[in-house]
Amino acid sequence: MLRLSLILTSAVNAAAGVGLAFLWYKFRHDEGMPIIVLFVALSLVVQGSFTIGHLTGLWKRWGIPSFQLFIVGESAAALVGGVAILQGVLYNLHPINGDYEFGPLLAATLMATQAGIGLVYAARSDEFPLRRNA
């Protein structure tokens, strides 16, 4: 069940990243669309795609040490997503010009949710070296 939820959240992350990248491209000349939106979109696509590749064994077949990269990537995503959620909540408490920002908050929530599920999945897997010694 954990693997299925991780695959599902990874697919949602990748799809949301693609959608966000298209939105950035469409409105890239507007003042309210900073380049950071594209970077967030790319990070969602990379996080979702890499996780799906790790779960299907694609990176292992190519000789890439995917487990270590998976742990590092999900840890970074959990940290960044958690800080972005906090920033989004604090901003929305007192928005500037009444402009609530729920898009970045949603992207951060997607990122942090997948990262949390991914880290739990990794901790329960047989590849986690501390688990064998315990």
Domain assignments of the chain as residue spans, ordered by start: 2-133
Q: Can you list the pairs that 100-104 forms with residues at least 24 positions away whose Cβ atoms lie under 8 Å?
A: 104/40
Report residue 82 as tokens: 């958690």
Report residue 122 as tokens: 């990794």
> pTM for this one?
0.80
CB 7 within 8 A of CB 54: no
The rounded distance, in Å, linking the Cα atoms of 51 and 19 is 18
The rounded distance, in Å, linking the Cα atoms of 125 and 32 is 43
pLDDT digits (tens, 9 = 90+) for 29-38: 877 777 888 8
pLDDT of residue 125: 83
pLDDT digits (tens, 9 = 90+) for 46-75: 999 999 998 898 888 998 888 888 899 899
